[in-house]
Amino acid sequence: MKPKRLPELSGKDLARFWSKVDQKGVNECWPWLGTVALTDNRGNFSFRKGFKRTLKAPRIVYALHFGVDPFPQQVLHNCNNANCVNPHHLYLGDAKDNSVDSDEAGTKVCGKILILQYSQKQMSEKSKLP
């Protein structure tokens, strides 16, 4: 999927964005608490800018922290946790870098596998209900 250019977020959008981040220590992963894409396990953030936009949470964090829109590069994770949005764990690369990193870390995923894992997790959690 081709990355979208990042528009400026309003103060209200920024407050809503950060409310979906579990900010921990500088060296720890900061899990995204909002909507997560089943295809790549990355956080999605939706907002209105004339029309509905949905962008990847790591891209937004990268732009906010480093002051530059990472477009057209991809935002990669040195922690190998796709759901992490700690800016200290993010760096830029291209599709080849991302593929090499995921191969080396053993984290290459397929949408169908994630859906299966998600379904199994949901079934497991439902079985724990009283």
Is residue 104 assigned to a domain?
yes
Is residue 52 assigned to a domain?
yes
Band (pLDDT 50/70/90 cuts) for residue 38 is confident
Is residue 32 assigned to a domain?
yes
**What is the SS3 assignment for 48?**
strand
Is residue 85 assigned to a domain?
yes
Q: What is the pLDDT of residues 56-91, one digit of tens each?
A: 999 999 999 998 888 888 899 888 888 899 999 999
pLDDT at 93 over 50: yes
pLDDT in the model for residue 102: 64
Contacts 24+ apart (CB under 8 A), 111-117: 111/38, 111/39, 111/40, 114/38, 114/39, 114/40, 114/41, 115/38
Is residue 72 assigned to a domain?
yes
Is residue 117 assigned to a domain?
yes
Share of the chain above pLDDT 70, in %: 70
Is residue 89 assigned to a domain?
yes
Q: Read off the CATH number of the domain in which 66 is found.
A: 3.90.75
Task: Tell me the residue range of the domain where 108 lies.
Answer: 11-127
Query: Cβ(38)–Cβ(106) under 8 Å?
Result: no
How many domains are there within the chain? Answer: 1
Instruction: Report residue 93 as tokens.
Output: 């690369």
